[in-house]
Structures are given as C-alpha cells and as structure tokens.
Amino acid sequence: MKTPKKLNLRTWMFIKVLPAIVLVMYYWMITRYDFHINFIAIQNIVFGFFGVFLFFLIFGKNNRDLEDEFAKHNIMKVDSFCLRISYLLFIIIALINSAFELSTVVLGYFTVGSILILSIIRAIAFYILDTRMV
C-alpha cells in the first residue's frame, strides 16, 4: 500500500495564500461598475473554486496536525508578528479613512488587500524562520 505524499510545511504555508488571492479577485469582480456577461460565469467559477479549495483545506484527509514542536513554536512567533502588523495596517486604514472620508468600495479594497498582504507576509516569515532554524 502506498503511503500518501506529505507536503512540506513551508509549501503548505504558501498554499494558504491562495484563498486570499481568490478573495481579492472575487471582490474586484463584485465591485466593478461596468457589466459584462462573462463576469457572471467567471464569478461562479472563482466562487466554486474557492468553496472546493476551502473544503479540502479544512476537511482534507491530510489535515496539517503539527507534530514538530519547533514548527509549532515558529508558527506561534509568525502569528504574533502578523497580529501586530494587522493592528498597524488597520489603524493606518482607519486614519486614512478619517482624513479623506473614502468610499466603502475603497475601504473594502484596503481590507482585502491587507488580508492578502498579511497572508503573504505570514508565509514568507515562516519560510525565513524555518530555514534559519531560529
């Protein structure tokens, strides 16, 4: 019997960036002002891909249970670092909104972009910590 291939934890962290990319694409398609009939099909395909991806990410057989204490420690470090960055990003977004009174669409772009930036920073920071063995 074949043993299933295990994904490297670094690869798994970069795979977790995909839902943020799909979220940005979906938000962009929803907030467009011009209408093309192709957008409905593209939105449904993106939404279906996102749903299937999240299903396998959450309920997949190879759910990533961390057995390595070193990796658990690194992920906790990276998550606390990203939490601090998220505080900073959302405070900056709030200050920009209070100064310029931006529309809700622009604030949505800021929010979705912040989520994408945080997921990319999380993957890169974990990769750096994991390669340095800090």
Q: Identify whether the C-beta of residue 122 lies closer than 8 Å to the C-beta of residue 78.
A: yes
pTM of this prediction? 0.78
Phi and psi at 68, nearest 5°, equal: -90, 120
* Predicted confidence pLDDT, tens digits, the chain (134 residues): 555 556 677 777 888 888 888 888 888 888 877 777 787 888 888 888 888 887 877 776 555 555 677 878 888 899 999 999 999 999 999 999 999 988 989 999 999 999 999 999 999 999 898 888 66
